[in-house]
Amino acid sequence: MPFFASARFRPTLSLLAVTLAVAANLRAATFSTASGPAQVPLIELYTSEGCSSCPPADHWLEALRFRPRLWLDFVPVGFHVNYWDNLGWKDRFATRAFTQRQYALARRWGTPSVYTPCFVRDGREWHPSGDLLPSVSRLPGVLTLEVGPEGVCQIRFKPQGAGRGPWEAHVALLGGGYASQVSAGENRGETLRHEFVALALVDAPMQAVGGTAVAQLPCPPNPVGGAVRRGLAVWVTQAGSLEPVQATGGWLE
């Protein structure tokens, strides 16, 4: 069982295709990061500032910033969903696209409902039960990301026993150091702090060049200001899948 309570919600939402912005306004210095050959888990949290059960999960995700093996042993991303927004408090980080992503995952699990807080590890529902993240022994291959001065992401994946493509690349712009003073809804009167907040997400098919899959795409735009730090999370999936095969990331500043 998880170490915090979960609140279930069953709104009626159609699963439309997610439209992702691809205009780039990320002005970062040249940046690069790479995984090793061992799988780096992608840890997703689906959360909302309007849900009273979410702050403990948000705090757990926030604390990952101080892990010495951040980005090397795991890549965390917090997706804020919008189905709590009609209960008195509108979450400034929530988007319909992130809600649709959670619904798409739930359909893969064979359930019609979604809930917050909901942790997902490599595309599968996951319940943290202690302080340590589980280790992995798979060797899918090396994933690299390079960001040029114009904000263009160059992604390369060299598969090593990870199955065959085609592959798809996903890039999330993350924000950290946020604090929200909630004045309405279930968390009224609370100050909520957030790290690894997904601000935008873009994806693109990868092309095979020899034994390497490559993709080039603009880094996601930043629709929410006020971040103390920004980062990028990158992962690859087989085309049409929601299960990450490899991930990497890092702070831009």
- The whole-number pLDDT of residue 22 equals 30
Whole-model pTM above 0.85? yes
Integer Cα distance of 180 and 192 in angstroms = 5
Integer Cα distance of 148 and 218 in angstroms = 10
Handedness of CA 33, 198, 46, 113 (dihedral sign): negative
- The whole-number pLDDT of residue 129 equals 75
Instruction: Give domain limits for the chain.
Output: 28-130+139-251
Q: Are 200 and 222 in contact (CB under 8 A)?
A: yes
Long-range contacts of the stretch 161-164 (C-beta < 8 A, 24+): 162/138, 162/245, 162/246, 163/238, 163/245
Half-sphere exposure (Cβ direction) of 116: Cα atoms closer than 13 Å: 27
| CA nearest to 75, candidates 33, 28, 32 | 33
- The whole-number pLDDT of residue 223 equals 86
Q: What is the pLDDT along the chain (253 residues), one digit of tens a residue?
A: 444 555 655 443 332 222 223 333 344 448 999 999 999 999 999 999 999 999 999 999 999 999 999 999 999 999 999 999 999 999 999 999 999 999 999 999 999 899 999 999 999 999 987 666 666 778 999 999 999 888 899 999 999 866 678 999 999 999 999 999 999 999 999 999 999 999 999 999 999 998 999 999 988 888 898 999 999 999 999 999 999 999 999 999 7
Task: Kindly report the backbone phi and psi dihedral angles of residue 61, in degrees, each rounded to the nearest multiple of 5, phi listed first.
Answer: -65, -40
Contacts of 63 (CB under 8 A, 6+ apart): none
Here the tokens at position 56 are 């403990």
- The whole-number pLDDT of residue 26 equals 42
